[in-house]
Structure 1
Amino acid sequence: MEAKLNCEGVQVELMDWLAGTLPAAQHQAVEAHLTQCPGCQQELATVQALWTTMGELPVPATSEQMRPRFYSMLAEFQVEEQRKQRWSVSGLLERVREWWQPAYAVRLAYSLALLIVGLVAGYGLKGRPETSELAVQQPATTMPAATEDDVHQTNVLALLNNPSAVQRLRAVSYAEEVAPSNERVVAALLSTLNQDPNVNVRLASLEVLSGLSQDPMVRQGLVRSLPLQESPLVQSALADVMVRLQERRSVRPLRKLLQQDNLNEQVKDKIEQSIESLSDGQAPQPSTPSTYHETPPTTQPDLGSTVAA
Protein backbone atom coordinates (compact mmCIF):
# COMPACT_ATOMS: atom_id res chain seq x y z
CA MET A 1 0.00 0.00 0.00
CA GLU A 2 1.40 3.36 -1.02
CA ALA A 3 2.25 5.79 1.73
CA LYS A 4 0.47 9.13 1.42
CA LEU A 5 2.37 12.33 2.03
CA ASN A 6 1.17 15.81 2.87
CA CYS A 7 2.43 18.94 1.11
CA GLU A 8 5.17 19.61 3.66
CA GLY A 9 6.53 16.09 3.41
CA VAL A 10 6.51 16.19 -0.40
CA GLN A 11 8.30 19.54 -0.59
CA VAL A 12 11.03 18.24 1.70
CA GLU A 13 11.59 15.30 -0.67
CA LEU A 14 11.57 17.28 -3.94
CA MET A 15 15.37 17.54 -4.31
CA ASP A 16 15.85 13.82 -3.69
CA TRP A 17 12.96 13.07 -6.06
CA LEU A 18 14.63 15.06 -8.84
CA ALA A 19 17.96 13.36 -8.14
CA GLY A 20 16.32 9.92 -8.25
CA THR A 21 17.68 8.87 -4.85
CA LEU A 22 14.35 8.10 -3.13
CA PRO A 23 13.24 4.50 -2.53
CA ALA A 24 10.77 3.23 -5.12
CA ALA A 25 7.71 3.34 -2.83
CA GLN A 26 8.46 6.85 -1.58
CA HIS A 27 9.20 8.03 -5.13
CA GLN A 28 5.77 6.81 -6.29
CA ALA A 29 4.06 8.45 -3.32
CA VAL A 30 5.64 11.83 -4.10
CA GLU A 31 4.77 11.48 -7.79
CA ALA A 32 1.14 10.61 -6.99
CA HIS A 33 0.82 13.64 -4.73
CA LEU A 34 2.30 15.95 -7.37
CA THR A 35 -0.34 14.92 -9.92
CA GLN A 36 -3.10 16.11 -7.56
CA CYS A 37 -1.61 19.18 -5.80
CA PRO A 38 -1.19 22.47 -7.77
CA GLY A 39 0.72 24.07 -4.88
CA CYS A 40 3.33 21.33 -4.85
CA GLN A 41 3.52 21.45 -8.65
CA GLN A 42 4.41 25.15 -8.43
CA GLU A 43 7.04 24.39 -5.78
CA LEU A 44 8.43 21.64 -8.05
CA ALA A 45 8.76 24.13 -10.92
CA THR A 46 10.74 26.48 -8.65
CA VAL A 47 13.04 23.69 -7.47
CA GLN A 48 13.58 22.51 -11.07
CA ALA A 49 14.56 26.04 -12.14
CA LEU A 50 17.06 26.23 -9.28
CA TRP A 51 18.36 22.74 -10.19
CA THR A 52 18.89 23.80 -13.82
CA THR A 53 20.58 27.07 -12.85
CA MET A 54 23.02 25.30 -10.51
CA GLY A 55 23.82 22.76 -13.22
CA GLU A 56 24.79 25.56 -15.61
CA LEU A 57 27.22 27.20 -13.21
CA PRO A 58 30.79 27.03 -14.60
CA VAL A 59 33.18 24.75 -12.77
CA PRO A 60 36.41 26.62 -11.94
CA ALA A 61 39.60 25.07 -13.28
CA THR A 62 41.73 23.36 -10.67
CA SER A 63 45.10 24.88 -9.87
CA GLU A 64 48.34 22.91 -9.62
CA GLN A 65 48.84 24.50 -6.22
CA MET A 66 45.38 23.52 -4.90
CA ARG A 67 46.59 20.39 -3.10
CA PRO A 68 49.58 21.99 -1.27
CA ARG A 69 47.43 25.00 -0.33
CA PHE A 70 44.68 22.80 1.04
CA TYR A 71 47.16 20.72 3.01
CA SER A 72 48.83 23.85 4.40
CA MET A 73 45.48 25.29 5.51
CA LEU A 74 44.56 21.96 7.13
CA ALA A 75 47.87 21.83 8.98
CA GLU A 76 47.41 25.41 10.26
CA PHE A 77 43.92 24.54 11.48
CA GLN A 78 45.25 21.48 13.32
CA VAL A 79 48.00 23.54 14.96
CA GLU A 80 45.46 26.17 16.05
CA GLU A 81 43.18 23.52 17.57
CA GLN A 82 46.10 21.98 19.43
CA ARG A 83 47.09 25.42 20.72
CA LYS A 84 43.56 26.04 22.04
CA GLN A 85 43.52 22.70 23.83
CA ARG A 86 46.97 23.29 25.27
CA TRP A 87 45.94 26.63 26.84
CA SER A 88 42.60 25.49 28.24
CA VAL A 89 42.20 25.49 32.03
CA SER A 90 42.06 21.70 32.29
CA GLY A 91 45.05 21.40 29.96
CA LEU A 92 47.11 23.84 32.05
CA LEU A 93 46.28 21.99 35.26
CA GLU A 94 47.24 18.69 33.68
CA ARG A 95 50.56 20.12 32.43
CA VAL A 96 51.31 21.53 35.89
CA ARG A 97 50.65 18.13 37.49
CA GLU A 98 52.89 16.41 34.93
CA TRP A 99 55.64 18.97 35.38
CA TRP A 100 55.64 19.14 39.16
CA GLN A 101 57.42 15.88 39.93
CA PRO A 102 60.65 15.20 41.87
CA ALA A 103 62.62 14.52 38.70
CA TYR A 104 61.64 17.87 37.21
CA ALA A 105 62.37 19.68 40.47
CA VAL A 106 65.92 18.31 40.47
CA ARG A 107 66.40 19.40 36.87
CA LEU A 108 65.08 22.88 37.66
CA ALA A 109 67.48 23.25 40.59
CA TYR A 110 70.38 22.03 38.45
CA SER A 111 69.50 24.53 35.70
CA LEU A 112 69.28 27.40 38.15
CA ALA A 113 72.68 26.47 39.60
CA LEU A 114 74.24 26.48 36.14
CA LEU A 115 72.65 29.86 35.40
CA ILE A 116 74.05 31.39 38.59
CA VAL A 117 77.52 29.99 37.88
CA GLY A 118 77.39 31.38 34.35
CA LEU A 119 76.35 34.84 35.56
CA VAL A 120 79.12 34.92 38.17
CA ALA A 121 81.74 33.81 35.65
CA GLY A 122 80.54 36.36 33.08
CA TYR A 123 80.67 39.18 35.63
CA GLY A 124 84.20 38.15 36.65
CA LEU A 125 85.44 38.13 33.05
CA LYS A 126 83.81 41.48 32.37
CA GLY A 127 85.70 43.03 35.31
CA ARG A 128 89.13 42.15 33.80
CA PRO A 129 90.15 45.10 31.60
CA GLU A 130 93.08 43.24 30.05
CA THR A 131 90.66 40.78 28.51
CA SER A 132 88.78 43.55 26.71
CA GLU A 133 92.01 45.26 25.58
CA LEU A 134 93.37 41.99 24.25
CA ALA A 135 90.17 41.42 22.30
CA VAL A 136 90.48 44.88 20.73
CA GLN A 137 94.13 44.37 19.77
CA GLN A 138 93.57 41.03 18.05
CA PRO A 139 92.60 41.42 14.41
CA ALA A 140 89.20 40.02 13.46
CA THR A 141 89.29 36.84 11.43
CA THR A 142 88.30 37.51 7.87
CA MET A 143 85.23 35.46 7.01
CA PRO A 144 83.94 35.10 3.47
CA ALA A 145 80.70 36.98 2.92
CA ALA A 146 77.70 34.70 2.72
CA THR A 147 75.97 34.80 -0.65
CA GLU A 148 72.22 35.16 -1.04
CA ASP A 149 71.94 31.52 -2.13
CA ASP A 150 73.77 30.42 1.02
CA VAL A 151 71.32 32.38 3.16
CA HIS A 152 68.35 30.86 1.33
CA GLN A 153 69.78 27.36 1.67
CA THR A 154 70.37 27.82 5.39
CA ASN A 155 66.84 29.08 5.96
CA VAL A 156 65.24 26.26 3.99
CA LEU A 157 67.26 23.54 5.74
CA ALA A 158 66.50 25.04 9.14
CA LEU A 159 62.75 25.21 8.44
CA LEU A 160 62.70 21.61 7.15
CA ASN A 161 63.95 20.52 10.60
CA ASN A 162 61.37 22.64 12.44
CA PRO A 163 59.06 20.60 14.73
CA SER A 164 56.04 22.48 13.36
CA ALA A 165 54.44 20.91 10.27
CA VAL A 166 53.31 24.38 9.14
CA GLN A 167 56.89 25.65 9.16
CA ARG A 168 58.08 22.59 7.24
CA LEU A 169 55.35 23.20 4.64
CA ARG A 170 56.63 26.76 4.27
CA ALA A 171 60.14 25.44 3.81
CA VAL A 172 58.99 23.09 1.04
CA SER A 173 57.17 25.94 -0.70
CA TYR A 174 60.23 28.18 -0.52
CA ALA A 175 62.54 25.32 -1.58
CA GLU A 176 60.83 25.34 -4.98
CA GLU A 177 62.80 28.52 -5.81
CA VAL A 178 66.11 27.34 -4.35
CA ALA A 179 66.21 23.63 -5.26
CA PRO A 180 66.91 23.90 -9.04
CA SER A 181 70.41 25.23 -8.33
CA ASN A 182 71.14 23.62 -4.97
CA GLU A 183 71.91 19.92 -4.52
CA ARG A 184 71.74 20.10 -0.72
CA VAL A 185 68.18 21.41 -0.85
CA VAL A 186 67.23 18.68 -3.35
CA ALA A 187 68.69 16.04 -1.03
CA ALA A 188 66.81 17.55 1.91
CA LEU A 189 63.53 17.43 -0.06
CA LEU A 190 64.10 13.76 -0.91
CA SER A 191 64.79 13.04 2.76
CA THR A 192 61.59 14.89 3.71
CA LEU A 193 59.61 12.85 1.18
CA ASN A 194 60.88 9.62 2.74
CA GLN A 195 61.03 10.44 6.45
CA ASP A 196 58.74 13.35 7.39
CA PRO A 197 56.06 12.17 9.87
CA ASN A 198 53.42 14.41 8.29
CA VAL A 199 51.73 13.13 5.11
CA ASN A 200 50.90 16.68 4.01
CA VAL A 201 54.57 17.69 4.10
CA ARG A 202 55.58 14.59 2.13
CA LEU A 203 52.97 15.32 -0.55
CA ALA A 204 54.11 18.94 -0.83
CA SER A 205 57.73 17.75 -1.21
CA LEU A 206 56.66 15.39 -3.99
CA GLU A 207 54.94 18.27 -5.79
CA VAL A 208 58.18 20.27 -5.80
CA LEU A 209 60.40 17.31 -6.73
CA SER A 210 58.17 16.31 -9.64
CA GLY A 211 58.89 19.72 -11.14
CA LEU A 212 62.63 18.95 -11.04
CA SER A 213 62.36 15.69 -12.99
CA GLN A 214 65.00 16.79 -15.49
CA ASP A 215 67.57 16.22 -12.73
CA PRO A 216 68.77 12.56 -12.79
CA MET A 217 69.34 12.72 -9.03
CA VAL A 218 65.67 13.61 -8.50
CA ARG A 219 64.38 10.87 -10.81
CA GLN A 220 66.51 8.21 -9.13
CA GLY A 221 65.48 9.48 -5.69
CA LEU A 222 61.77 9.28 -6.58
CA VAL A 223 62.19 5.67 -7.79
CA ARG A 224 64.00 4.70 -4.58
CA SER A 225 61.27 6.39 -2.53
CA LEU A 226 58.52 4.04 -3.76
CA PRO A 227 59.14 1.08 -1.39
CA LEU A 228 59.59 3.47 1.57
CA GLN A 229 56.06 4.90 1.42
CA GLU A 230 53.20 3.55 3.54
CA SER A 231 50.61 6.30 3.02
CA PRO A 232 48.01 5.51 0.30
CA LEU A 233 48.00 9.18 -0.71
CA VAL A 234 51.75 9.30 -1.25
CA GLN A 235 51.83 5.90 -2.96
CA SER A 236 49.14 6.97 -5.44
CA ALA A 237 50.76 10.34 -6.09
CA LEU A 238 54.16 8.72 -6.68
CA ALA A 239 52.61 6.25 -9.13
CA ASP A 240 51.10 9.18 -11.06
CA VAL A 241 54.49 10.90 -11.19
CA MET A 242 56.21 7.75 -12.47
CA VAL A 243 53.68 7.43 -15.30
CA ARG A 244 53.92 11.11 -16.17
CA LEU A 245 57.72 10.85 -16.35
CA GLN A 246 57.54 7.45 -18.10
CA GLU A 247 60.18 6.26 -15.62
CA ARG A 248 60.38 2.52 -16.42
CA ARG A 249 62.87 1.90 -13.63
CA SER A 250 59.91 2.25 -11.26
CA VAL A 251 58.17 -0.90 -12.56
CA ARG A 252 60.08 -3.24 -10.22
CA PRO A 253 59.47 -1.23 -6.98
CA LEU A 254 55.82 -0.75 -8.02
CA ARG A 255 55.43 -4.52 -8.31
CA LYS A 256 56.94 -4.90 -4.86
CA LEU A 257 54.32 -2.52 -3.51
CA LEU A 258 51.61 -4.81 -4.90
CA GLN A 259 52.89 -7.58 -2.64
CA GLN A 260 52.01 -5.65 0.54
CA ASP A 261 49.23 -7.39 2.48
CA ASN A 262 47.57 -4.20 3.70
CA LEU A 263 47.76 -2.26 0.42
CA ASN A 264 44.74 -0.03 -0.20
CA GLU A 265 42.51 -1.47 -2.94
CA GLN A 266 42.27 1.83 -4.83
CA VAL A 267 46.04 2.25 -4.64
CA LYS A 268 46.43 -1.32 -5.87
CA ASP A 269 44.31 -0.53 -8.96
CA LYS A 270 46.30 2.67 -9.53
CA ILE A 271 49.64 0.82 -9.35
CA GLU A 272 48.45 -1.91 -11.71
CA GLN A 273 47.37 0.72 -14.25
CA SER A 274 50.70 2.51 -13.84
CA ILE A 275 52.69 -0.70 -14.43
CA GLU A 276 50.64 -1.43 -17.54
CA SER A 277 51.18 2.09 -18.87
CA LEU A 278 54.92 1.99 -18.18
CA SER A 279 55.29 -1.47 -19.71
CA ASP A 280 53.41 -0.51 -22.88
CA GLY A 281 55.18 2.83 -23.15
CA GLN A 282 51.87 4.68 -23.44
CA ALA A 283 51.52 8.38 -22.78
CA PRO A 284 50.30 9.12 -19.24
CA GLN A 285 46.54 9.54 -18.85
CA PRO A 286 45.08 12.22 -16.58
CA SER A 287 44.13 10.67 -13.26
CA THR A 288 41.11 11.49 -11.14
CA PRO A 289 41.64 12.05 -7.43
CA SER A 290 40.67 9.13 -5.20
CA THR A 291 39.48 9.08 -1.62
CA TYR A 292 41.50 6.98 0.83
CA HIS A 293 41.09 6.27 4.50
CA GLU A 294 43.52 8.98 5.41
CA THR A 295 43.15 12.67 6.09
CA PRO A 296 45.13 14.51 3.44
CA PRO A 297 48.76 19.95 3.22
CA THR A 298 45.55 26.24 2.04
CA THR A 299 47.23 28.97 0.78
CA GLN A 300 50.90 28.41 0.49
CA PRO A 301 52.31 30.88 2.96
CA ASP A 302 54.53 33.66 1.81
CA LEU A 303 57.96 32.83 3.15
CA GLY A 304 59.49 36.19 2.45
CA SER A 305 58.97 37.48 5.97
CA THR A 306 60.01 34.15 7.54
CA VAL A 307 63.22 33.83 5.55
CA ALA A 308 64.08 37.48 5.96
CA ALA A 309 63.70 37.09 9.70
Structure 2
Amino acid sequence: MACESARLSLPGWLTDELSITDRAALDAHLAQCPDCRAELVASQQLWQQLKAVPTPAPGPAMRTRFYAMLDTFEATEPVAPPTIWARLRSWVPPMGSGGVGPRLAYGLLLLGVGVGIGYWLPNGRSADIAYQQQIDTLSVQMQEMREMMMLSLLENPSATERLRAVSYTKDIGEADSRVVEALLTTLNNDPNVNVRLVTLEALAERAHDPRVREGLVQSLTRQESPLMQVALADVMVKLQEKRSLKPLRQMLRQEGINDLVKTKLEKTIRELS
Protein backbone atom coordinates (compact mmCIF):
# COMPACT_ATOMS: atom_id res chain seq x y z
CA MET A 1 0.00 0.00 0.00
CA ALA A 2 1.32 3.46 -0.98
CA CYS A 3 1.42 6.31 1.54
CA GLU A 4 -1.22 8.28 -0.36
CA SER A 5 -3.67 5.37 -0.26
CA ALA A 6 -2.87 4.76 3.40
CA ARG A 7 -3.65 8.37 4.35
CA LEU A 8 -6.93 8.25 2.44
CA SER A 9 -7.86 5.15 4.45
CA LEU A 10 -7.12 6.69 7.86
CA PRO A 11 -10.66 8.08 8.41
CA GLY A 12 -12.11 4.62 7.80
CA TRP A 13 -9.54 3.15 10.21
CA LEU A 14 -10.60 5.65 12.90
CA THR A 15 -14.33 4.91 12.44
CA ASP A 16 -13.81 1.14 12.06
CA GLU A 17 -15.47 1.18 8.63
CA LEU A 18 -12.67 -0.52 6.65
CA SER A 19 -13.10 -4.03 5.32
CA ILE A 20 -11.00 -6.80 6.82
CA THR A 21 -8.72 -6.79 3.78
CA ASP A 22 -8.17 -3.02 3.74
CA ARG A 23 -7.58 -2.84 7.50
CA ALA A 24 -4.99 -5.61 7.39
CA ALA A 25 -3.16 -3.90 4.53
CA LEU A 26 -3.23 -0.55 6.34
CA ASP A 27 -1.98 -2.09 9.61
CA ALA A 28 0.90 -3.68 7.73
CA HIS A 29 1.79 -0.34 6.11
CA LEU A 30 1.58 1.57 9.40
CA ALA A 31 3.98 -0.89 11.01
CA GLN A 32 6.62 0.04 8.43
CA CYS A 33 5.97 3.74 7.75
CA PRO A 34 6.71 6.26 10.55
CA ASP A 35 5.29 9.18 8.50
CA CYS A 36 1.89 7.53 8.17
CA ARG A 37 1.93 6.56 11.85
CA ALA A 38 2.53 10.22 12.71
CA GLU A 39 -0.34 11.16 10.41
CA LEU A 40 -2.55 8.64 12.23
CA VAL A 41 -1.66 10.10 15.63
CA ALA A 42 -2.42 13.62 14.37
CA SER A 43 -5.75 12.44 12.94
CA GLN A 44 -6.64 10.75 16.25
CA GLN A 45 -5.92 13.98 18.14
CA LEU A 46 -8.06 15.98 15.68
CA TRP A 47 -10.81 13.38 16.02
CA GLN A 48 -10.83 13.76 19.80
CA GLN A 49 -10.96 17.55 19.50
CA LEU A 50 -13.94 17.32 17.13
CA LYS A 51 -15.75 15.01 19.56
CA ALA A 52 -15.29 17.66 22.28
CA VAL A 53 -17.03 20.37 20.22
CA PRO A 54 -20.54 20.81 21.71
CA THR A 55 -23.58 20.33 19.48
CA PRO A 56 -25.52 23.61 19.15
CA ALA A 57 -29.02 23.60 20.62
CA PRO A 58 -31.97 24.44 18.30
CA GLY A 59 -32.95 28.12 18.33
CA PRO A 60 -36.28 29.37 19.71
CA ALA A 61 -37.57 30.18 16.20
CA MET A 62 -37.11 26.60 14.98
CA ARG A 63 -40.62 25.43 16.01
CA THR A 64 -42.24 28.44 14.31
CA ARG A 65 -40.35 27.82 11.06
CA PHE A 66 -41.24 24.13 11.15
CA TYR A 67 -44.98 24.74 11.45
CA ALA A 68 -44.81 27.40 8.73
CA MET A 69 -43.19 24.86 6.40
CA LEU A 70 -45.83 22.27 7.36
CA ASP A 71 -48.66 24.69 6.52
CA THR A 72 -47.07 25.46 3.15
CA PHE A 73 -46.71 21.75 2.37
CA GLU A 74 -50.35 21.00 3.24
CA ALA A 75 -51.54 23.92 1.10
CA THR A 76 -49.62 22.71 -1.96
CA GLU A 77 -50.26 18.97 -1.53
CA PRO A 78 -52.70 17.72 -4.22
CA VAL A 79 -56.04 16.41 -2.99
CA ALA A 80 -56.39 12.65 -3.35
CA PRO A 81 -59.18 11.48 -5.71
CA PRO A 82 -62.26 9.99 -4.04
CA THR A 83 -62.21 6.25 -3.43
CA ILE A 84 -64.53 3.81 -5.18
CA TRP A 85 -66.60 3.49 -1.99
CA ALA A 86 -67.07 7.25 -1.79
CA ARG A 87 -68.29 7.27 -5.39
CA LEU A 88 -70.73 4.43 -4.73
CA ARG A 89 -72.14 6.27 -1.72
CA SER A 90 -72.66 9.37 -3.84
CA TRP A 91 -74.56 7.36 -6.44
CA VAL A 92 -76.89 5.59 -3.96
CA PRO A 93 -79.28 7.71 -1.85
CA PRO A 94 -79.13 7.38 1.95
CA MET A 95 -81.06 4.55 3.63
CA GLY A 96 -82.96 7.00 5.79
CA SER A 97 -84.48 8.84 2.83
CA GLY A 98 -87.49 6.47 2.81
CA GLY A 99 -89.21 4.62 -0.01
CA VAL A 100 -88.60 1.31 -1.72
CA GLY A 101 -86.17 2.73 -4.30
CA PRO A 102 -83.24 3.38 -1.94
CA ARG A 103 -83.65 -0.01 -0.25
CA LEU A 104 -83.78 -1.82 -3.56
CA ALA A 105 -80.70 0.08 -4.74
CA TYR A 106 -78.78 -0.93 -1.64
CA GLY A 107 -79.90 -4.54 -2.01
CA LEU A 108 -78.75 -4.72 -5.63
CA LEU A 109 -75.48 -3.04 -4.74
CA LEU A 110 -74.72 -5.52 -1.96
CA LEU A 111 -75.68 -8.43 -4.20
CA GLY A 112 -73.33 -7.22 -6.95
CA VAL A 113 -70.46 -6.70 -4.52
CA GLY A 114 -70.98 -10.16 -3.03
CA VAL A 115 -71.00 -11.87 -6.44
CA GLY A 116 -67.88 -9.94 -7.51
CA ILE A 117 -65.96 -10.84 -4.37
CA GLY A 118 -67.05 -14.48 -4.59
CA TYR A 119 -65.83 -14.70 -8.18
CA TRP A 120 -62.63 -12.72 -7.77
CA LEU A 121 -61.18 -14.16 -4.58
CA PRO A 122 -60.69 -17.80 -5.67
CA ASN A 123 -59.31 -16.85 -9.07
CA GLY A 124 -57.13 -14.08 -7.64
CA ARG A 125 -55.72 -16.29 -4.91
CA SER A 126 -54.98 -19.19 -7.24
CA ALA A 127 -53.26 -16.85 -9.71
CA ASP A 128 -51.18 -15.31 -6.91
CA ILE A 129 -50.20 -18.74 -5.60
CA ALA A 130 -49.19 -19.96 -9.05
CA TYR A 131 -47.17 -16.79 -9.67
CA GLN A 132 -45.40 -17.08 -6.31
CA GLN A 133 -44.57 -20.72 -7.01
CA GLN A 134 -42.98 -19.73 -10.32
CA ILE A 135 -40.93 -17.02 -8.61
CA ASP A 136 -39.76 -19.46 -5.91
CA THR A 137 -38.78 -22.04 -8.54
CA LEU A 138 -36.82 -19.47 -10.53
CA SER A 139 -35.06 -18.25 -7.37
CA VAL A 140 -33.97 -21.79 -6.50
CA GLN A 141 -32.71 -22.38 -10.03
CA MET A 142 -30.78 -19.09 -10.03
CA GLN A 143 -29.13 -19.95 -6.71
CA GLU A 144 -28.11 -23.38 -8.01
CA MET A 145 -26.61 -21.78 -11.14
CA ARG A 146 -24.62 -19.29 -9.07
CA GLU A 147 -23.31 -22.07 -6.83
CA MET A 148 -22.26 -24.18 -9.82
CA MET A 149 -20.53 -21.20 -11.45
CA MET A 150 -18.77 -20.29 -8.21
CA LEU A 151 -17.54 -23.85 -7.61
CA SER A 152 -16.32 -24.08 -11.19
CA LEU A 153 -14.46 -20.75 -11.14
CA LEU A 154 -12.73 -21.58 -7.85
CA GLU A 155 -10.82 -24.26 -9.78
CA ASN A 156 -9.70 -21.76 -12.42
CA PRO A 157 -5.91 -21.18 -12.61
CA SER A 158 -6.48 -17.43 -12.94
CA ALA A 159 -6.52 -15.55 -9.61
CA THR A 160 -8.84 -12.96 -11.18
CA GLU A 161 -11.41 -15.64 -11.97
CA ARG A 162 -11.14 -17.08 -8.47
CA LEU A 163 -11.73 -13.60 -7.03
CA ARG A 164 -14.82 -13.33 -9.23
CA ALA A 165 -15.99 -16.71 -7.94
CA VAL A 166 -15.80 -15.54 -4.33
CA SER A 167 -17.75 -12.39 -5.22
CA TYR A 168 -20.69 -14.58 -6.31
CA THR A 169 -21.26 -15.57 -2.68
CA LYS A 170 -22.92 -12.17 -2.12
CA ASP A 171 -25.78 -13.32 -4.36
CA ILE A 172 -26.13 -16.73 -2.70
CA GLY A 173 -28.55 -16.98 0.20
CA GLU A 174 -28.07 -19.85 2.61
CA ALA A 175 -24.97 -21.67 1.38
CA ASP A 176 -25.01 -25.46 1.36
CA SER A 177 -22.16 -27.63 2.63
CA ARG A 178 -20.46 -27.73 -0.80
CA VAL A 179 -20.14 -23.94 -0.92
CA VAL A 180 -18.89 -23.66 2.67
CA GLU A 181 -16.35 -26.44 2.15
CA ALA A 182 -15.12 -24.88 -1.11
CA LEU A 183 -14.67 -21.47 0.52
CA LEU A 184 -12.79 -22.92 3.51
CA THR A 185 -10.53 -24.90 1.16
CA THR A 186 -9.79 -21.70 -0.76
CA LEU A 187 -9.10 -19.85 2.50
CA ASN A 188 -6.52 -22.42 3.57
CA ASN A 189 -4.93 -23.49 0.29
CA ASP A 190 -5.21 -20.81 -2.40
CA PRO A 191 -1.71 -19.72 -3.51
CA ASN A 192 -2.79 -16.07 -3.91
CA VAL A 193 -3.00 -14.10 -0.65
CA ASN A 194 -5.49 -11.61 -2.13
CA VAL A 195 -7.88 -14.44 -2.99
CA ARG A 196 -7.56 -15.75 0.57
CA LEU A 197 -8.21 -12.30 2.07
CA VAL A 198 -11.36 -11.80 -0.02
CA THR A 199 -12.50 -15.33 0.87
CA LEU A 200 -12.00 -14.55 4.56
CA GLU A 201 -14.18 -11.47 4.19
CA ALA A 202 -16.90 -13.52 2.48
CA LEU A 203 -16.79 -16.17 5.19
CA ALA A 204 -16.86 -13.60 7.99
CA GLU A 205 -20.21 -12.37 6.63
CA ARG A 206 -21.54 -15.93 7.08
CA ALA A 207 -20.19 -16.40 10.59
CA HIS A 208 -23.72 -17.12 11.88
CA ASP A 209 -23.20 -20.58 10.36
CA PRO A 210 -21.49 -22.88 12.96
CA ARG A 211 -19.58 -24.67 10.17
CA VAL A 212 -18.03 -21.37 9.07
CA ARG A 213 -17.06 -20.36 12.62
CA GLU A 214 -15.40 -23.72 13.25
CA GLY A 215 -13.55 -23.50 9.94
CA LEU A 216 -12.27 -19.99 10.68
CA VAL A 217 -10.92 -21.07 14.06
CA GLN A 218 -9.17 -24.09 12.54
CA SER A 219 -7.68 -21.89 9.80
CA LEU A 220 -5.67 -19.80 12.28
CA THR A 221 -2.77 -22.22 12.59
CA ARG A 222 -2.77 -22.99 8.84
CA GLN A 223 -1.96 -19.46 7.69
CA GLU A 224 1.65 -18.44 7.06
CA SER A 225 1.06 -14.99 5.53
CA PRO A 226 1.32 -12.15 8.10
CA LEU A 227 -1.55 -10.36 6.34
CA MET A 228 -3.80 -13.39 6.73
CA GLN A 229 -2.79 -13.91 10.34
CA VAL A 230 -3.57 -10.29 11.24
CA ALA A 231 -6.86 -10.35 9.29
CA LEU A 232 -7.98 -13.57 10.97
CA ALA A 233 -7.14 -12.13 14.38
CA ASP A 234 -9.38 -9.14 13.59
CA VAL A 235 -12.21 -11.50 12.63
CA MET A 236 -11.87 -13.43 15.90
CA VAL A 237 -12.21 -10.18 17.86
CA LYS A 238 -15.26 -9.05 15.89
CA LEU A 239 -16.91 -12.43 16.38
CA GLN A 240 -15.75 -12.63 20.02
CA GLU A 241 -14.80 -16.22 19.28
CA LYS A 242 -13.17 -17.48 22.49
CA ARG A 243 -12.44 -20.88 20.95
CA SER A 244 -9.67 -19.13 19.03
CA LEU A 245 -7.61 -18.49 22.19
CA LYS A 246 -5.87 -21.87 22.05
CA PRO A 247 -4.73 -21.64 18.39
CA LEU A 248 -3.76 -17.98 18.91
CA ARG A 249 -1.45 -18.99 21.75
CA GLN A 250 -0.04 -21.77 19.58
CA MET A 251 0.75 -19.19 16.90
CA LEU A 252 2.60 -17.05 19.44
CA ARG A 253 4.94 -19.99 20.19
CA GLN A 254 5.90 -20.41 16.53
CA GLU A 255 9.51 -19.67 15.66
CA GLY A 256 10.27 -16.64 13.51
CA ILE A 257 6.86 -15.04 13.96
CA ASN A 258 6.55 -11.53 12.52
CA ASP A 259 6.84 -8.79 15.19
CA LEU A 260 3.70 -7.04 13.94
CA VAL A 261 1.77 -10.30 13.99
CA LYS A 262 3.07 -11.10 17.49
CA THR A 263 1.88 -7.72 18.79
CA LYS A 264 -1.50 -8.21 17.11
CA LEU A 265 -1.95 -11.72 18.52
CA GLU A 266 -1.07 -10.59 22.05
CA LYS A 267 -3.63 -7.77 21.78
CA THR A 268 -6.27 -10.16 20.40
CA ILE A 269 -5.71 -12.64 23.24
CA ARG A 270 -6.10 -9.86 25.82
CA GLU A 271 -9.37 -8.71 24.21
CA LEU A 272 -10.81 -12.24 24.10
CA SER A 273 -9.68 -13.36 27.54
Higher helix share: 2
Length-normalised TM-score, structure 2: 0.50
* Bigger relative contact order (CA 8 A; separation at least 6): 1
Length-normalised TM-score, structure 1: 0.44
